């Protein structure tokens, strides 16, 4: 696990910006792999690792005086804000949903209608989500000058809402909408207002029983018939960074708030609601195809974002991975680069990750129990 003895090469890593692809389950961790599960012990071990790496000092050769910690966050960062992750204890992929690809979105008008109808139903959950203690703790680390940089695979904007000023959004943001024809960029909130006006009778609470395992809500039973999140069979929003949501509810069961929206902001929706959903065109050219400013499976992460994120890792003294299973190369490549440079990697994640055997330290505990005390201790030392 540890990086001792690894040959350190300063040569640039040759990497390709490849499309996302579906990945196999990680499986259990090797039984002999050291994992810290106690939060207090995890905080203490992280403090020791950061201190040993010089992570509270200036960045590795940086000229801007930045801190030494490179932070990479995944969907697990937002679970305590009510947005489920992919492969964690309540992960979306546990429902056997498969993601919509960019090829499906661009090549099939029905898929685009399904995307925007389900996304319109789920948008209110993304808007209502609030940054959790982990987000504010990471922002405190940045404020204390301890970060070489912050890279997130999330598209929910909660790092910025939690106070972080400089965030590399590797997979884009749900808050922006692009026109593929004229190139106009517009706020998602503006599109949502236009969609609401075009669909005054839209019922976001109408659950797709075939997907969610729930029944259509009975308007007389007094329940809200909540919806179930997931990226399903070409039906849902793109799975941005395959991380690990709750097991399917029993038929007729009321779904929990965390089960109503998936990490990418959509919900399961009845086919009748999708079929009658009215689309709108670009605000600028009037007819252009609109798409979210996010990276779908089958699409590539823009090279400038990868380069900027790689620069953060290369200037750091320790790479701290928070809430990511690192299953896809989009995030895993940064662990590989850190290993090439002899930069230690510490991972805090609930459940196994692809990089477990490459990490110098593994902590399996809720981020809300780890990050606030960690940030408080590091802020004092800074």
Q: Is 133 annotated as a binding residue?
A: no
Residue 239: Cβ within 10 Å count: 28
Is 73 strand, coil or helix? strand
Residue of 97, 120, 171, 284 marked catalytic: 171
In DSSP terms, 179 is beta-bridged to 290
- The rounded distance, in Å, linking the Cα atoms of 64 and 190 is 37
Is 171 a catalytic site residue? yes
Q: Is 282 annotated as a binding residue?
A: yes
Q: Is 182 annotated as a binding residue?
A: yes
Strands (E), 162-213: 168-169, 172-179, 185-187
Burial (CB count within 10 angstroms: exposed 0-12, middle 13-18, buried 19+), residue 378: buried
Which helix (H) or strand (E) segment holds residue 196: the answer is helix 188-198
Closest CA to 76 of 355, 265, 323, 259: 323
241 is in an annotated binding site: no
Other residues' Cβ atoms within 10 Å of the Cβ of residue 379: 16
Taking phi over 0 as left and psi of -120 to 50 as alpha, with beta for the rest, 9 belongs to beta
The Cα–Cα gap between 237 and 119 comes to 7
Instruction: Give the annotated binding-site residues for Zn(2+).
Output: 179, 182, 282, 285
Instruction: Give the annotated binding-site residues.
Output: 179, 182, 282, 285
Q: Which residues are catalytic?
A: 171
């Amino acid at each position: 696990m540890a990086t001792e003895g690894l040959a350190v090469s300063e040569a640039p890593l040759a990497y390709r910006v490849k499309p996302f692809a579906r990945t196999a389950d990680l499986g259990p961790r090797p039984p002999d792999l050291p994992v810290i599960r106690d939060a207090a012990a995890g905080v203490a071990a992280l403090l020791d690792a950061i201190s040993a790496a010089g992570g509270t000092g200036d960045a590795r050769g940086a000229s801007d005086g930045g801190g030494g910690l490179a932070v990479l966050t995944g969907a697990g960062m937002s679970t305590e804000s009510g947005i489920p992750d992919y492969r964690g204890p309540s992960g979306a992929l546990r429902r056997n949903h498969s993601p919509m690809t960019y090829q499906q979105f661009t090549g099939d008008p029905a898929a685009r209608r399904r995307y925007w109808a389900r996304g319109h139903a789920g948008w209110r959950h993304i808007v209502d989500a609030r940054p959790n203690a982990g987000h504010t703790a990471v922002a405190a680390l940045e404020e204390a000058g301890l970060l070489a940089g912050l890279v997130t695979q999330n598209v929910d904007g909660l790092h910025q809402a939690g106070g972080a000023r400089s965030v590399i959004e590797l997979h884009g943001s749900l808050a922006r909408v692009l026109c593929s024809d004229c190139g106009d960029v517009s706020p998602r909130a503006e599109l949502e207002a236009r969609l609401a006006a075009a669909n005054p009778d839209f019922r976001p609470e109408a659950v797709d029983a075939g997907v969610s395992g729930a029944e259509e809500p009975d308007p007389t039973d007094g329940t809200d018939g909540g919806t179930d999140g997931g990226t399903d069979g070409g039906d849902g929003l793109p799975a941005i960074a395959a991380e690990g949501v709750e097991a399917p509810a029993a038929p007729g069961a009321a779904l929990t708030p965390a089960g109503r929206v998936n990490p990418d902001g959509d919900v399961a929706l009845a086919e009748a609601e999708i079929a009658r959903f009215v689309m709108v065109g670009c605000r600028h050219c009037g007819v252009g195809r609109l798409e979210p400013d996010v990276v779908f499976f089958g699409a590539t992460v823009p090279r400038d974002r990868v380069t900027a994120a790689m620069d953060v890792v290369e200037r750091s003294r320790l790479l701290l991975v928070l809430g990511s299973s690192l299953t896809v190369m989009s995030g895993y490549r940064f662990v590989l680069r850190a290993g090439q440079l002899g930069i230690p990697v510490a991972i805090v994640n609930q459940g196994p990750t692809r990089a477990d055997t490459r990490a110098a330290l593994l902590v399996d505990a809720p981020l809300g129990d780890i990050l606030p005390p960690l940030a408080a201790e590091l802020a004092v030392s800074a």
